[in-house]
Amino acid sequence: MAASPQYDVVIVGAGIAGAIMAKELAGKGARVLILESGPRDREDRKSFHDSYLTAMAKLPNSPYPPYWHGNDPKHEPNKEAVPRPMTAMTFAWPGLEEFKKWNGSQAKFDAFNKQSYLTYTATTELPFLSTYERLAGGTTWHWLGTALRFTESDFRMRSKYGQLVDWPITLPELYDDYASAEEMIGVSADVGDQRALEPYLGAQFPEGYEYPMKRIPMSVSDNLLGDTIKGLQFDRQDLEMTCTPQGRNSEYRDGRPACQGNSSCIPICPIQAKYDATVTLRDAESTNLVTTLTKAVVTDLEVGPNGLITGVNFLQYSGDVGNYQAQRKTASGKIVILAAHAVETVKILLMSNGRRGIANASGQLGCNLMDHLCYLGYGLSNQQGFPYRGPRSGSGIESLRDGPFRKRRSAWRVDVGNVGWQWADDDPTRSTHDFISGENKSCLNPGQEKLFGKALAERLNMANTRMLRLCYLVEQEPQQSNRITLSKNLFDGLRLPRPEINYSVTGSEYTLRGIVAAQQATDLIFDKIGANRHFPDHRQNYSHFINDSGYPGIEFTMDGKNYKVNLYGAGHIAGTYRMGFTGHDSVVDSNSRCWEHKNLYLLGSGTFPTITTGNPTLTIAALTFRASRSVLNDLQHL
């Protein structure tokens, strides 16, 4: 006789999806085990903050383990128990000119792959630009907190515009779950701002609906920009600035303070005014029905003869880099939920069944890897906006997230930055270095003057107070060939295969037209605000190709014009186990339940059929609430 499952539910991953699911299930009396691959012993914010302050390279991953940030052989991914993608490796990409010389050479890729946790096929066009974290609390440790609902059309792209694919659910079906997600995260926003966008976004709120907290006010530069672009139209629609709903306290709530204006939301909010999933994880554990095992890396799932998942195999490890001891263990639950995010969930499924994979009758598992492709437009405004203060971004241009133009090009939203050119050009460091050393990498010191004292202070004040950066989050078309598989020859410190990625952008004309539109909109806006183009000799190229930093980019021709742009990752990783209408076209159904394994649920943005125009996490949370009802219902019948 088979042993009865130890738990009602086993959840893999203690990020926002896993934590919300655990809290919801335990709230209804279910016994839950969470297996989390990373540690939580340094969960105290100060030690992470200290790691960031002392890190040589101040990158989004810098505060978090493993503390590997460059070419340190001691910390190569084959020596780490839970390596994850590193921003440092994106910077290590050779740049477009050098990359062209590789010409698909596998040997060149192998040399790069050795140091990188994400490895690449020789047909890849550029590295996948986004990262994630592997520790209790997951990637919300370093998310920005933008918490927008998706638009009505986002769910119906095929039927409304003849592009991409439809979701098997509609926006109105998610209204209540969005409200639960906003409550759980503690979103600060004003319904009035969102209602103003109704004609474009189809957003509706019940009479009397209020966000959990009032909005965080716009910054000086946001107000300046908002006023100046009033009346501008692009693609026959108004350009309008709106306060962005944010997962960040605007008042004291849940034992956490209001935002104090630290501009380091990414990578870490030093006072936890910004929500992260440790908040929900602790709530779940306080029910005494949730047990969390950390440093427990799930390797594969066991499948019984009727297709039900009967065991979750994991490695419980201890020790330190390059010297781990791991014990193989198995947990079982009536229901199993993978919430390990869009790359690691795929890996677990592919590693199952003797590395032949499970849950892939549709052939879609690992495919359709997407991100919001970030196109940065940046310049010096003719007015002082005083950036580098307040949350990294508190407002955006949302009015172009939808419209008839989606029949021919992908849409975007514009995140308006509060941190000058920090993301775009590593400023204020780069320009300061230029002014002191007489160089001109920032293009702000064409005379290559060497300044000091009062002259230096005046020049810095002139430049830093007027830096403006727009980030267009371009919707990327899902493509089968953008795909995650398992590396055959590269492993991590526990001898588990690293992800292998095939990734390109230029295969989608629809996406490229969205990028071109972002450039054109930047021209329009910068003309109106009288911004000096950052690079006057690159009239069509604000997103300057920074050859010396080797930052990744693409080249393409559109309507007879050549384009060469840098692209950045948004941290939004989606599509790799998409939901759909049948088991032939997708991996999970509209409740996030696997078509092939009835007691297996897959959570997170991997279920998104399209990446849409909104940041993903509020929708991840809403879909988790929806899935939790289905899990509770299944528990009664299993």
Ligand X SMILES: Cc1cc2nc3c(=O)[nH]c(=O)nc-3n(C[C@H](O)[C@H](O)[C@H](O)COP(=O)(O)OP(=O)(O)OC[C@H]3O[C@@H](n4cnc5c(N)ncnc54)[C@H](O)[C@@H]3O)c2cc1C
Least separation in angstroms between residue 338's CB and ligand X is 9
Residue 446 Rama label (left phi>0; alpha psi -120 to 50; beta): alpha
Helical H segments across 119-272, by residue range:
157-161, 171-185, 191-195, 198-201, 220-229
**Residue 201 amino acid letter:** L
Q: Which among 65-73, 144-152, 212-220, 468-476 is the span making contact with ligand X, rule CB under 6 A?
A: 144-152
Q: Which among 8-16, 90-98, 220-228, 481-489 is the span making contact with ligand X, rule CB under 6 A?
A: 8-16
Contact between 466 and 220 (Cβ < 8 Å): no
Binding mask 58-77 for ligand X (x = CB under 6 A): --x-----------------
Q: Which is nearer to ligand X, 151 or 605 (CB)?
A: 605
**Among 604, 622, 627, 628, which residue interacts with ligand X (rule: CB under 6 A)?**
604
- Using rule CB under 6 A, residue 13 touches ligand X: yes
- Using rule CB under 6 A, residue 590 touches ligand X: no
**Tokens in use for 388?**
């580098």
Q: Which of 570, 575, 568 is nearest to 609 (CA)?
A: 575
Residues 6+ apart with CB under 8 A from 487: 113, 119, 497, 498, 499, 500
**Among 366, 396, 417, 616, which residue interacts with ligand X (rule: CB under 6 A)?**
616
Q: Which is nearer to ligand X, 109 or 412 (CB)?
A: 412
Contact between 311 and 597 (Cβ < 8 Å): no
Q: Which among 32-40, 120-128, 197-205, 548-556 is the span making contact with ligand X, rule CB under 6 A?
A: 32-40
Q: Which among 218-226, 229-237, 512-520, 612-620 is the span making contact with ligand X, rule CB under 6 A?
A: 612-620
- Using rule CB under 6 A, residue 38 touches ligand X: yes
- Using rule CB under 6 A, residue 245 touches ligand X: no
Q: Which among 35-43, 95-103, 255-263, 469-477 is the span making contact with ligand X, rule CB under 6 A?
A: 35-43
- Using rule CB under 6 A, residue 401 touches ligand X: no
- Using rule CB under 6 A, residue 9 touches ligand X: no
**Tokens in use for 554?**
């693409």
- Using rule CB under 6 A, residue 605 touches ligand X: yes
> Can you list the positions of beta strands (E) in 168-322?
233-234, 237-238, 241-243, 290-293, 296-303, 309-320
**Among 90, 113, 124, 140, which residue interacts with ligand X (rule: CB under 6 A)?**
140
Contact between 250 and 215 (Cβ < 8 Å): yes
Q: Which among 70-78, 142-150, 200-208, 361-369 is the span making contact with ligand X, rule CB under 6 A?
A: 142-150
**Residue 345 amino acid letter:** T
**Among 11, 17, 203, 443, which residue interacts with ligand X (rule: CB under 6 A)?**
17
**Among 15, 168, 311, 390, which residue interacts with ligand X (rule: CB under 6 A)?**
15
- Using rule CB under 6 A, residue 181 touches ligand X: no
Q: Which of 169, 27, 71 is nearest to 612 (CA)?
A: 169
Question: What residues numbered 541-580 form the site for ligand X, per CB under 6 A?
Answer: 571-572
Q: Which among 186-194, 202-210, 221-229, 336-344 is the span making contact with ligand X, rule CB under 6 A?
A: 336-344
**Among 225, 273, 281, 298, which residue interacts with ligand X (rule: CB under 6 A)?**
298
Contact between 114 and 490 (Cβ < 8 Å): yes
Q: Which is nearer to ligand X, 7 or 99 (CB)?
A: 7
- Using rule CB under 6 A, residue 274 touches ligand X: no
Consecutive H or E run containing 264: none
Residues 6+ apart with CB under 8 A from 337: 9, 10, 11, 12, 18, 21, 600, 601, 602, 603, 627, 631
- Using rule CB under 6 A, residue 188 touches ligand X: no
How many residues contact ligand X, by CB under 6 A?
42
| Sign of the torsion angle spanned by Cα atoms 472, 120, 118, 427 | negative
Consecutive H or E run containing 406: none
Q: Which is nearer to ligand X, 402 or 415 (CB)?
A: 415
- Using rule CB under 6 A, residue 473 touches ligand X: no
Residues 6+ apart with CB under 8 A from 621: 16, 17, 20, 177, 180, 181, 184, 185
- Using rule CB under 6 A, residue 145 touches ligand X: yes
- Using rule CB under 6 A, residue 37 touches ligand X: yes
- Using rule CB under 6 A, residue 143 touches ligand X: yes
- Using rule CB under 6 A, residue 297 touches ligand X: yes
**Among 90, 119, 131, 591, which residue interacts with ligand X (rule: CB under 6 A)?**
131
Least separation in angstroms between residue 232's CB and ligand X is 25
Which residue, chain included where needed, has tokens 């008839």?
Answer: 404
- Using rule CB under 6 A, residue 344 touches ligand X: yes
Greatest alpha-carbon span in the chain:
83
User: How far is residue 438's CA from residue 102's CA, in Å, rounded to a whole number?
Assistant: 34
Q: Which is nearer to ligand X, 37 or 332 (CB)?
A: 37
User: How far is residue 43's CA from residue 46's CA, in Å, rounded to a whole number?
Assistant: 9
User: How far is residue 347's CA from residue 477's CA, in Å, rounded to a whole number?
Assistant: 22
Q: Which is nearer to ligand X, 417 or 571 (CB)?
A: 571
Which residue, chain included where needed, has tokens 């209602």?
Answer: 195
Q: Which among 212-220, 335-343, 356-364, 468-476 is the span making contact with ligand X, rule CB under 6 A?
A: 335-343
Least separation in angstroms between residue 187's CB and ligand X is 11
Burial class (CB in 10 A: 0-12, 13-18, 19+), 270: middle
Contact between 274 and 321 (Cβ < 8 Å): no
Q: In this structure, how many other beta carbons lie within 10 angstroms of the beta carbon of residue 2? A: 7
Residue ranges binding ligand X (CB under 6 A): 12-18, 35-38, 60, 130-132, 134-135, 138-140, 142-146, 266, 297-298, 339-341, 344, 348, 571-572, 604-605, 615-618, 620
